[in-house]
Amino acid sequence: MEAIVNGQIIQLSEAGWLENLDEWSPELAHEIAKNERINELTEEHWNIINMAREHFQENGVVCEPRAFSKMMKKKYGKDRSDQKYIYSLFPTGLIKCANKVAGLPRPKGCS
């Protein structure tokens, strides 16, 4: 699988995960989001994408969903922190969808 961004071919895995994490860009995020049936990335989407990327850059691993919800609650409040909220923006949730759009590695055990 591949995505074309600004005339450049970016390799994705068969499941749509970014092969080379250094190739991620906001433009690529939009292409991956389309593959995940997300037509538009809103500010709320970007808040999650950016928080997921920051956690990965600081810790070297993708964030576990419960811990991520706690971080969201601390920064954005109760209404924007539970799994229902995240699923409303990313149809298959944090692990399978938001992390993929954020250009993070596929977590172990994730299909």
The catalytic residues are: 110
d(CA 33, CA 4): 13
d(CA 40, CA 75): 23
Helix then strand count (H, E) for the chain reads 6, 2
